[in-house]
């Protein structure tokens, strides 16, 4: 085939250029050298990164200085199958080599197949639909716009329900709409005014919820387990009560499963056994196995038609590569019996943690785990953990969160449990 006619790239030295040459023309830099370059070129919103990571395989990653870590955070509940999963890697690269991006003027087989697959896995009722985005906050943003359409006339001028309810401690993302749903004052205050009408009510309090819901409420947003708030599950019965109250008032019940979905709790959805049918679900983090993708699922014909043609959109969302990555991830989770692993290893990990001296409470489900310490040393535990070769996260001063790859083994878990007492001692000594 003629390279010029097909527009394909001529075989040249370009194709033989390793990515390392693009990022590090000066020879291999140390972690410290990279971080100096980082601080002069990257915006400071994340603070100083803890390490410069260069490679991963399964549940392990390596930094620029060659040190190995057991990744118990999984890119914050993203790397469902660990790092460099051979099947996901091959599907992504073959899709990219076939067709990478087309815009939403067009569709592609992987996009359609993924939408069908997600509706099947979530037991969505007839008439349910999917909107693809690139991240969690974008999935929530779409859900926010969906909520604004609840009860509104076609042109939006009349009948709009003005209130949206979210919970204290909620985290729904960082873009303006999602931020309006997020509770944390430090995240919100610098950016006010935020989209209006959002009311935060006390966490897990059914009476407060029932008192807050009336016919002016467009939607209630709930995380089944609040991840950023330290892995805090909704109390039993809360979702059922929320479903009853929202149905009665004509408000949408929107479940944010961005962190808890896609096998994280040992089930496809954390809310799968709650005995309720929501109006919408947001997904993202684990969905692409590390590749960025988000999704809003709308349940039933009526909710699915709230956003009309032209009322929402995205350039990248649902592109062939992202949707192929998600299809590959879902297939691997199914065919490698990953959900069973999550249940077994999650139980083992929680039981082990509860027996560690200095651990006062263990929460969570499957491989989304939070545990509290008897002192405010969580940030020091993160540092001591890294020095000992473990990646963990501290969402609060005395809370540690684990959201490892869903393929974590019992052996790997055992290594961490054995190392934890010394990590806690080091952290306390460092205070």
Ligand X SMILES: *Cc1c(COP(=O)(O)O)cnc(C)c1O
What residue numbers does the annotated binding site for pyridoxal 5'-phosphate cover?
A: 136-137, 171, 256-259, 315
Q: Which chain residues interact with ligand X by CB under 6 A? A: 135-137, 140, 171-173, 223, 227, 256, 258-259, 284-285
CA distances (Å), origin 134, targets 140, 377, 411:
11, 35, 34
Which is it for strands 60-63 and 399-402: parallel, antiparallel or unpaired? unpaired
Residues tagged in the binding site annotation for N(2)-acetyl-L-ornithine: 174, 314
**CB-based burial, 361-396: b 16+ in 10 Å, e otherwise:** ebbbbbbbbbbbbeeebbbbbbbbbbebebbbbbbb
Q: Which is nearer to ligand X, 150 or 260 (CB)?
A: 260
State whether residue 90 is helix, strand or coil: helix
Residue 256 is among the residues annotated as catalytic for this protein:
yes
- Closest to ligand X by CB, 284 vs 427, is 284
Per the annotation, where are the binding residues?
A: 136-137, 171, 174, 256-259, 314-315
Q: Which is nearer to ligand X, 53 or 179 (CB)?
A: 179
Closest approach of Cβ 7 to ligand X, in Å? 33
The smaller minimum CB distance to ligand X, of residues 128 and 282, is found at 282
Give residue number: closest CB to ligand X.
136
Among 87, 95, 124, CA closest to 299? 124
Of 103, 124, 430, nearest to 298 (Cα)?
Answer: 124
Rounded to a whole number of angstroms, the minimum distance from the CB of residue 22 to ligand X is 26
- Cis geometry, peptide bond prior to residue 31 (ω within 30 degrees of 0): no
| Residue with smaller CB distance to ligand X, 195 or 250 | 195
Strands 217-222 and 232-233: unpaired
Q: How far is the CB of 140 from ligand X (least distance, A)?
A: 5
Q: Is 299 a catalytic residue?
A: no
Beta-strand relationship, 217-222 and 163-167: parallel
CA dihedral for 293, 299, 300, 306, sign (positive or negative): negative
We find the least distance from the C-beta atom of residue 227 to ligand X, in angstroms, to be 5
Catalytic residue among 256, 279, 299, 371: 256
Q: How far is the CB of 75 from ligand X (least distance, A)?
A: 10
Q: Of 144, 279, 285, 371, which one is the catalytic site residue?
A: 285
- Is-catalytic flag, 267? no
Distance from C-alpha of 323 to C-alpha of 289, rounded to nearest angstrom: 11
Any idea which residues carry the catalytic annotation?
171, 256, 285
């Amino acid at each position: 085939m003629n390279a010029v006619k097909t527009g394909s790239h001529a075989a040249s030295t370009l194709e033989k250029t390793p990515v390392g040459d693009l990022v590090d023309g000066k020879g291999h830099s140390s972690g410290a050298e990279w971080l100096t370059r980082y601080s002069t070129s990257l915006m400071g919103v994340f603070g100083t990164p803890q390490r410069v990571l260069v490679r991963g395989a399964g549940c392990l990653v390596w930094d620029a200085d060659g040190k190995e870590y057991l990744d118990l955070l999984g890119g914050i509940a993203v790397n469902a199958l660990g790092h460099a999963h051979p099947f996901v890697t091959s599907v992504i690269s073959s899709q990219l080599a076939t067709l990478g991006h087309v815009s939403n003027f067009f569709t592609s087989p992987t996009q359609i197949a993924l939408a069908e697959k997600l509706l099947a896995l979530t037991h969505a009722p007839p008439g349910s639909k999917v909107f693809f985005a690139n991240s969690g906050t974008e999935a929530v943003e779409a859900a926010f716009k969906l909520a604004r359409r609840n009860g509104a006339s076609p042109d939006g001028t009349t009948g709009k329900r003005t209130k949206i309810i979210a919970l204290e401690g909620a985290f729904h993302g960082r873009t303006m709409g999602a931020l309006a749903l997020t509770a944390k004052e430090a995240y919100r205050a610098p950016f006010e005014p935020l989209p209006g009408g959002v009311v935060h009510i006390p966490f897990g309090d059914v009476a407060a919820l029932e008192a807050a819901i009336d016919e002016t409420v467009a939607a209630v947003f709930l995380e089944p387990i609040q991840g950023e708030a330290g892995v805090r599950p909704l109390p039993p019965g809360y979702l059922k009560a929320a479903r009853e109250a929202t149905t009665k008032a004509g408000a949408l019940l929107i479940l944010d499963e961005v962190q808890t979905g896609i096998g994280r709790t040992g089930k496809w959805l954390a809310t799968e056994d709650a005995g309720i049918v929501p109006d919408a679900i947001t997904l993202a983090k684990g969905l692409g196995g590390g590749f960025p993708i988000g999704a809003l699922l709308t349940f039933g014909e009526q909710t699915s038609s709230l956003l009309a043609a032209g009322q929402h959109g995205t350039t990248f969302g649902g592109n062939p590569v992202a949707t192929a990555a998600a299809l590959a991830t879902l297939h691997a989770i199914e065919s490698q019996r990953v959900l069973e692993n999550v249940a077994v290893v999650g139980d083992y990990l929680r039981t082990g943690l509860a027996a560690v001296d200095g651990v006062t409470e263990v929460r969570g489900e499957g491989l989304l785990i939070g545990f509290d310490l008897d002192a405010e040393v969580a940030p020091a535990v993160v540092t001591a953990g890294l020095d000992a070769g473990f990646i963990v996260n501290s969402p609060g001063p005395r809370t540690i969160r684990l959201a490892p790859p869903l393929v974590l083994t019992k052996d790997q878990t055992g290594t961490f449990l054995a190392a934890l007492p010394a990590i806690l001692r080091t952290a306390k000594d460092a205070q």
